[in-house]
Amino acid sequence: MTIIIKNKQTLSFKEFTLKCCIGRNGSTSKKKEGDKKTPKGTFSIDKLYIRNDRIKVPETNLEIIKIRKNMGWCDDVNAKLKYNKMVNIKENVHYEKLFREDNKYDLLIPIKYNWKNPKVPKGSAIFIHLTKDYKPTLGCVGLSFKDFLILIKLINKETKIKIL
């Protein structure tokens, strides 16, 4: 089964239609780091990352990774070998911190865009994550907490995401 991002505010999966938000500048098939666009295409998804110090482990068929304080996701265009990979925040690279003050990454699923042998600067740290206000993202897909919980009950590691 495939999650479909139909437009800037609609995600559908099976019979469910959920409100979402995507990149401030829409979607593109020519993604570049920092362009504030969500990559177009069909991609696999990764595991569910969770801040279990804030929320209890939800019902899901996805493998769960607990987010720790030292976890980051490299978005450094000068760090070719670490680009678009999880890093320890003590490493000397620019990264997106996963253990945040806000609740945006209390639950997140990396989208496997630019994943195997990532190419700099085609984009990094593209996630399905939480949103409270549906403001446009920097390139990710945002869902409300309630809708995120619905989605993770329905999907599994074989699920794909198609962004139009």
Tens-place pLDDT, residues 60-83: 999 999 999 999 999 999 999 999
* Token pair recorded at residue 139: 């390139």
pLDDT tens column, 117-137: 999 999 999 999 999 999 999
Q: pLDDT (tens digit, 9 = 90+) per residue, 99-112?
A: 999 999 999 999 99
Sign of the alpha-carbon dihedral angle for 88, 90, 93, 94: positive
Residue 110, domain CATH: 2.40.440.10
pLDDT > 90 fraction of the chain, expressed in percent and rounded: 100
Q: Please, what is the Cα angle at 89 between 152 and 95, to 5 degrees?
A: 70
Query: For 50-59, how does the pLDDT look when each residue is reduced to its tens digit (9 = 90+)?
Result: 999 999 999 9
Tokens of 62: 């996805």
Q: Tell me the chain's radius of gyration from C-alpha atoms.
A: 15
pLDDT computed for residue 95 by the predictor:
97
Rounded to two decimals, what is the model's pTM? 0.97
- pLDDT > 70 fraction of the chain, expressed in percent and rounded: 100
| pLDDT mean over 11-38 | 97
- 98-117: b or e for each residue (b if 16 or more CB lie within 10 Å)? beeeeebbbbbbbbebbeee
Mean pLDDT, to the nearest integer, of 3-16?
A: 96
- Look up the domain containing 19 and give its range: 2-163
Number of domains the chain is built from: 1
Q: Please say whether the beta carbons of 38 and 22 come within 8 A.
A: yes
- What number of H helices and E strands is found in the chain? 1, 15
Supply the pLDDT for residue 38: 98
Asked whether 139 and 39 are in contact (CB, 8 A), the reply is: yes
Length of the chain: 164
* Cβ neighbours around 16 below 10 Å, total: 12
Query: Taking a C-beta distance cutoff of 8 angstroms, is the pair 158, 39 a contact?
Result: no
* Residue 138: CA count within 13 A, CB half-sphere: 11
| Mean per-residue pLDDT of the chain | 97
Using DSSP, state whether 145 is helix, strand or coil: helix
